[in-house]
Structure 1
């Protein structure tokens, strides 16, 4: 069984203006820990985009009716074979399986973020925790683990 190599945690208010802070924090973590482990810039860019999508979804959708002081917690766990990002929000839960995947060549309102997350990561899970928070789990395996 693999153990956690590194981890970090960030708590921010539910404000879109904090997206840059979230992404800079993530990029700093990547520079310190992932680059030397052979993670490619493309992998890191995809993870940064997935993080941005998850964070903005929490602000825009989960917290849309909540005060901006409502916090979003983000945890990063680096394992030998993968990176896990967990984004915790306080909104009402939803069922992502109920979102229809956009058909190529058609337009639909909503659902593109969930579709994008599934394309950027190897595993995406959204579930309600025992503490009445929602957790978006984004998992990306290292290139070495995929060989």
Structure 2
């Protein structure tokens, strides 16, 4: 039996940077995480949708046709989604916190992600960007 944190199921999805693929990403995650309680899957779907949209809108500046690789894993104690892209890197520490006074329409994505997942890591490198999301299972 696999040890804690070691994937027992892993699948990949290759998509292009187009907002129309977001529904494909959500469907892929539902498929990979079938049989897992709704709450962690719903939270992961929300977070992954935000990350994918941010990669498309910001890393690739809304330009269609760029590659995004998504890897979803199921382990005995967690579900994880990893995003790999070659868009413009960013520093999450320099993203201002959102205002909740009704003065802004956007800028809530990273806040939402950090609130609904248990682990959120972003690693830019010369070989591309890696965003890692994990939710611990009860």
Change (3 A) 1:99 1:110: farther
* Structure 2 counterpart of 1:64, from 39, 61, 70: 61
Within 2, Cα distance between the matches of 1:103 and 1:89? 28
Q: Mind listing any 5+ residue stretches in structure 1 that lack a counterpart? A: none
- Cα deviations by residue, 1:40-85 (Å, 9 ceiling, x for unpaired): 212211111111111111111101164x221100011211111111
Q: Secondary structure at the match of 1:94?
A: coil
Specify the alignment match of 2:97 in structure 1. 101
For the pair 1:139 / 2:134, whether they are aligned, the reply is yes
Residue 18 (structure 1) aligns with: 21
2:78 corresponds to: 82
Q: Which runs of 5+ in 2 are unaligned?
A: none
TM-score, with length taken from structure 1: 0.83
Take 2:13 and 2:109, find their aligned partners in 1: how far apart are those partners? Answer: 22
CA apart distance, 1:125: 0.8
Q: How many residues end up aligned between the 2 structures?
A: 135
